[in-house]
Amino acid sequence: MQPSGPKALLHTLSAAAPPAGAIFVFGTIYGATSKGLLGTPLTLVSSALIFSGALQFALLGLLSAGAAMPAILITGATLNLRHLVLGAVIRPRLSRARLRRALLSWFLIDESFGLGIAAGEDAERALLVSGSMFYVSWLAGTGLGILGAGLGGLQGVANAVFPVLFVGLAAMTSTRMHHAGRALASALLTAALVILAPGIAGLAPLLAAIVVALPGRQE
């Protein structure tokens, strides 16, 4: 059973703290790297407005390689495709109020989506609380990176947080035996896709999840 009330809030805060720490570390790395390429003001603006580590690091890579604007925008659109599915999955768990949903969608990143789904009926609060924590961590990390804070030594720990978080979220959302079977199949299919078609690695988890979700009876 999912906790409720203040206990649920505490549960969300404690679950969101490790990924928030990892996001902070990656924020410092982004800030330090981006400062030389985009300059201080635009580095801060990019973290404040885009709020997507994967896309922002891709942006730096593409700008460094001299990519043209259309290529950068296509990359951005491709990397963001997964949000459509994540949004569709979490939508029934959110309030009907449009303004509220508009605000909540700002915080829809992989990690906050996971904590929202895992929170069951408390999805809205989990998305808001964890998303806010991740946003502040990303901004603070970017700012500290610009100031020259060297947290590169923590990158190993930060790297390790994400697989563990996603393994835990897969376990929490596997409420039936067939969910666990599909999760395992998706992991194998993702690995195969990443190895065989590295160009679509960013979309591999979503493609694999859709493929393994298709078979089976309507419950």
Partner 1 sequence: MNLLIVVALAAITYVSRAAAVLFLPPPPPRLQVLLERIPAPVFAGLATLSLITPNGSLADTPTLGAALGGLVMTPLRSLPICLAGGLVGYAVASFFS
The interface with partner 1 within residues 88-127 (CB under 8 A) comprises 88-92, 94, 98, 101-102, 104-106, 108, 110, 114-115, 117-118
Q: Does 161 bind partner 1 (CB under 8 A)?
A: yes
**Residue number, 12 or 28, with CB nearest to partner 1:** 12
Helix, strand, coil share of the chain (percent; to 5):
85, 0, 15
Q: Which residues ranging from 12 to 41 are in contact with partner 1 (CB under 8 A)?
A: 14-15, 18, 38
- At its nearest, how many Å lie between partner 1 and the CB of residue 20? 12
- Residue 53 contacts residue 30 (beta carbons within 8 Å): yes
- At its nearest, how many Å lie between partner 1 and the CB of residue 137? 16
Q: What does the alpha-carbon distance between residue 168 and residue 184 come to, in Å, rounded to a whole number?
A: 13
Q: Does 80 bind partner 1 (CB under 8 A)?
A: yes
Q: What does the alpha-carbon distance between residue 215 and residue 24 come to, in Å, rounded to a whole number?
A: 39
- Residue 155 contacts residue 25 (beta carbons within 8 Å): yes
Q: What does the alpha-carbon distance between residue 80 and residue 55 come to, in Å, rounded to a whole number?
A: 8
Residue 182's alpha-carbon distances to 177, 178, 203, 219, in angstroms, are 9, 6, 17, 15
Choose which of 64, 73, 121, 197 interacts with partner 1 (CB under 8 A): 73
Q: Does 185 bind partner 1 (CB under 8 A)?
A: yes
Choose which of 26, 51, 134, 138 interacts with partner 1 (CB under 8 A): 51
- At its nearest, how many Å lie between partner 1 and the CB of residue 76? 5
**Residue number, 76 or 149, with CB nearest to partner 1:** 76
Q: Does 42 bind partner 1 (CB under 8 A)?
A: yes
User: What is the CB-side half-sphere exposure of residue 174 using CA atoms within 13 A?
Assistant: 16
Q: What does the alpha-carbon distance between residue 57 and residue 68 come to, in Å, rounded to a whole number?
A: 16
Q: What does the alpha-carbon distance between residue 8 and residue 41 come to, in Å, rounded to a whole number?
A: 38
**Residue number, 119 or 144, with CB nearest to partner 1:** 119
- At its nearest, how many Å lie between partner 1 and the CB of residue 29? 15
Q: Does 55 bind partner 1 (CB under 8 A)?
A: yes
Q: Does 71 bind partner 1 (CB under 8 A)?
A: no
Q: Does 8 bind partner 1 (CB under 8 A)?
A: no
**Residue number, 28 or 111, with CB nearest to partner 1:** 111
Helix axis angle, 110-118 to 6-38, nearest 10°: 170
**Residue number, 147 or 210, with CB nearest to partner 1:** 210
